[in-house]
Amino acid sequence: MTSTNMGGDKLLRYSICVSGAAAGETVQASASLAEAVGKEIAKQGHAITTGATVGLPYYAASAAKKAGGMSIGFSPAASLREHLRKYRLPHDCFDFINFTGLHYVGRDMYLVQSSDAVITIGGRFGSLHEFTSALEAHKPCGILTGSGGTADEIVQLMKELEPPDGNLVLYDDDPTRLVNRIVEVLDDKYADIHEHVKRYDHNWFLRGGAGSQMPPHAG
């Protein structure tokens, strides 16, 4: 999450991860849904984060970029050369790629921890790993129902396993509405930070030097 000044108003820009299948039958079936999610994230002024991969995350990242949004990728590779040659992953729709060097499993954890929320579209085991990691990290999770794969399986898994923080999981079959609901949850979660941003300029920490104190109610 970063603070920004858009249209003269001080706002918070969230990092919203889109998780989904890189291959398989849900990719073509739910490509338009992924594009709609990416476009709405950009429209709302937030940054989209993905695993810098192909498939549904790529469709979402590309749509966000085309809509004028910020797109950040988290690659399993340690360098651009490895990203392109070893993993054979795209680079064209990202403003920045974080070359984690953590391979796929480590990349997933880094991606989730660097995001404020995770939206699952379609998906396979990798998407399930990202979802469970997000839930364990107490991150809001949006599930686009009707997109197939992991997204639709999560509905039943949540009923059977009764995990903690189940209230953080939002289900919706409408891409725009799901993004709006996730943003509402994040706005509520960071209400105190919103108030801080409204009351104090962004450089408050520079005024008192190294020993300056955060203004009241900002922590």
Tell whether 44 is covered by a domain: yes
- Verdict on whether the full-model pTM lies above 0.85: yes
CB neighbour list of residue 198: distance below 8 Å, 6 or more residues apart: 10
The number of distinct structural domains making up the chain is: 1
- The pLDDT value recorded for residue 7 is 37
In the predicted model, is pLDDT for residue 25 greater than 90? yes
Chain segment 32-55, per-residue pLDDT in tens:
999 999 999 999 999 999 999 999
pLDDT-based confidence at residue 8 (cuts at 50, 70, 90): very low
* Of the candidate ranges 45-54, 114-123, 208-217, the one whose mean pLDDT is the lowest: 208-217
Tell whether 73 is covered by a domain: yes
What is the CATH classification number for the domain harbouring 50? Answer: 3.40.50.450
Tell whether 202 is covered by a domain: no
pLDDT-based confidence at residue 205 (cuts at 50, 70, 90): low
Tell whether 106 is covered by a domain: yes
- The strand pair at 96-99 and 47-50 is best described as unpaired
Tell whether 206 is covered by a domain: no
Residue 70, domain extent = 12-197
Tell whether 129 is covered by a domain: yes
Tell whether 219 is covered by a domain: no
Tell whether 133 is covered by a domain: yes
- Residue with the larger pLDDT of the pair 177 and 215: 177
What's the rounded mean pLDDT across residues 103-125? Answer: 97
